[in-house]
Amino acid sequence: MKKNIFLLIFFFFILSNSHASIKENIIKNLKITNNLIFNFEQIINGKKQYGKCTIEYPKKIFCSYDLKMKKILVSNGKSLVVKNVASNQTYHYPLKKTPLGILLDKSFLINELENSRKKNTKNNIYVLSIKKENISVELFFDINNYNLVGWQTEDMYQNKVNTSLFDLKKNQNIDKKLFRLPAIN
């Protein structure tokens, strides 16, 4: 009986240490990451969209959707602009009122990871769930290389938006002009 209790305590200790180690490694990885470049697949209401994004911490992003969508998304750290190139329509939002306000704030993400107590791993993915004001975000990190591999948010119409990242590159030389907001019509 004592042997079974010892084994149970031993496995619990091993599992809790591996969880802490994963979380600590994700934090270390985020701390040394200045920017990300990746291809993405985004699913909203069963419809898939594709494109390429560049993120520069803190709070900057540029995404160009594939030729069919002809849409760009840009944040300069304060504002977010979505422009449909085909229709020449431009939408402007305060970044802090969007899920990207959370996703692009590396310091906030690190703080949330440091303070998270739940063990959220499944299928080699560490899940960080964040609720801030009326915005909910789930971030997905690969537990083998500790990189961000996607996220799930809700758009302004309460549609679930799943974004998966591919061909991720970190700490590349990027053109700062990329984060200039397009003119608003």
When the pLDDT of each residue in the chain is averaged and rounded to a whole number, the result is 87
Cβ-count burial 113-123 (b if 16+ within 10 Å, e if not): beeeeeebbee
Higher pLDDT, 47 or 155: 47
Are 90 and 185 in contact by the 8 Å Cβ rule? The answer is: yes
pLDDT (tens digit, 9 = 90+) per residue, 6-46? 433 444 444 444 445 999 999 999 999 999 999 999 999 89
CA atoms within 13 A on the CB side of 56: 15
In this prediction, residue 18 carries a pLDDT of 46
pLDDT tens digits along 82-130: 999 888 899 999 999 999 999 999 999 999 999 987 667 778 999 999 9
Homologous superfamily (CATH) for 2-179? Lipoprotein localisation LolA/LolB/LppX (2.50.20.10)
Q: Where are the domains of the chain?
A: 2-179
Indicate whether 81 pLDDT > 60: yes
| Cβ–Cβ under 8 Å, residues 116 and 19 | no
Amino acid identity at 101: G
